[in-house]
Amino acid sequence: MFTYEIIQEESKSIVKINGDLDIDVTEIMQDEITPALMERQDIEFDFSNVPFVDSSGIGLLMTLINELREAGSQVAITKVSQEVMYVFSLLQLPEILGREIFVDLKRDFEPVSDTN
């Protein structure tokens, strides 16, 4: 089950996401989360409770981040699990969105090759 909470801390809005980020959360992202954040300037997405992200979830995330940036917001993604970061890296999300958006990303992180 997917849930989220938006916490306001001084000038920063923290979006705590809980659950899988997949096609099932499309309506919530588009109808609830995006409109709630459009006027916020400093936004952090806390991924500490996101165990799984699929291609539709990544597409939703990219759209949301691009819309927020176009509205003038600073966006950060934090506390991404190794498994989810692996998927992000395979799809080159840090390169597409900018490595600086992934606050916890180690500069030397590289996907592990499955070939021997």
Q: What is the mean pLDDT of residues 63-73?
A: 94
The mean of the pLDDT values for the chain is: 89
pTM over 0.75: yes
Per-residue model confidence (pLDDT) at position 10: 86
**Whole-number Cα distances in Å, 77 to 2, 10, 116:** 18, 18, 32
> To 5 degrees, how large is the angle CA 7–CA 12–CA 14?
35
| 3-state secondary structure (DSSP) of residue 50 | coil
Measured in degrees and rounded to the nearest 5, phi and psi for residue 81 equal -65, 160
pLDDT of residue 109 exceeding 90, the answer is no
The token duo for 7 is 């916490």
pLDDT of residue 107 exceeding 50, the answer is no
**Are 54 and 22 spatial neighbours (Cβ–Cβ below 8 Å)?**
yes
